[in-house]
Amino acid sequence: WIHTFHAIEKLRVKKLSNEEKQFEDLISWIEHTVNYCDGAIFVSNDLLKEGEKTYKLKSKMIISNGVDLQLFDYSPITNKNVLFIGRFSKDKGIDILPKLIPPIMSVKDATFTAVCPYGAVDGELKEIRESIQKMQDKYGKRLKIIDKPQNQQVLKELYKNCQVYIQPSKYESFGFCILEAMATGRPVVAFKVGGIPEVIGDSGFALTNREGFIYKVKELLENRDGCVSMGKKSNKRAKNFDWNLIAQKTIKYYEEVKK
């Protein structure tokens, strides 16, 4: 039994809204069982460090997630758009959007697109959704909220149609969408949490506070040439995460554990 960790759930749950924490006890019980696995894969060095504090594992290895470079390939920047993709959840930073949208809208001709699937929400999340809805009413077509999951072909087009990709997560062990945006040739602005700095490297911006985050997004929107330059670095770095390379590492580790 080889268990792949994409998160340490008992740490992630701390970043959720009160309504999202209702399964906290069940999550802790399920995650406790991984102490019995034969091997463990962690998708980032940061996640491994947290895992070593939490579990007693027989064997462990860092193998990152990967990206399909044939699907998510380089595309020139054509639109002055900011893109966010993530669950409608506080751990994904959904609560920063009401504070981020107005500064983006203050940039001439800038637009904002968010893919944040959600169902019936209550409490904190409902208040956030209502706040975003008011902004939709105010800014019209410049602010597009997609509330249902999208397939990879649609996501590919969304990456191509943005100038800056943002990931305001409070907890992120790796960052699939960050990597897909990088492969498309887009600069990424994210918070310096979890495995994000390991993914971005020097080809994006990992910030420590909300003010710096908002400033950097605006700065990039007003500097298309800078976005193109950083986007090329992002695309080059993304090639280190080719799924073919990741698959080879994974097979090799399975074979080692099997022996």
Residues 165-223: pLDDT tens digits?
999 999 999 999 999 999 999 999 999 999 999 999 999 999 999 999 999 999 999 99
Q: Is the pLDDT of residue 92 over 80?
A: yes
Biggest CA–CA distance in the chain, Å, is: 62
Q: Give the pLDDT confidence of 236-246 residue by residue, as tens digits.
A: 999 999 999 99
Task: Please report how the helices 123-139 and 97-105 are oriented relative to each other, as an axis angle in degrees rounded to 10.
Answer: 10
At 196, the amino acid letter reads I
Give the pLDDT confidence of 34-80 residue by residue, as tens digits. Answer: 888 999 999 999 999 999 988 889 999 999 999 999 999 999 999 99
- Tokens describing residue 168: 């305001």
Neighbour tally for 132: CB within 10 Å: 19
Q: Do the Cβ atoms of 20 and 122 come closer than 8 Å?
A: no
Q: Where are the beta strands (DSSP E) in 36-109?
A: 39-42, 60-62, 81-85
- Global pTM reads 0.91
Closest CA to 86 of 185, 15, 1, 21: 15
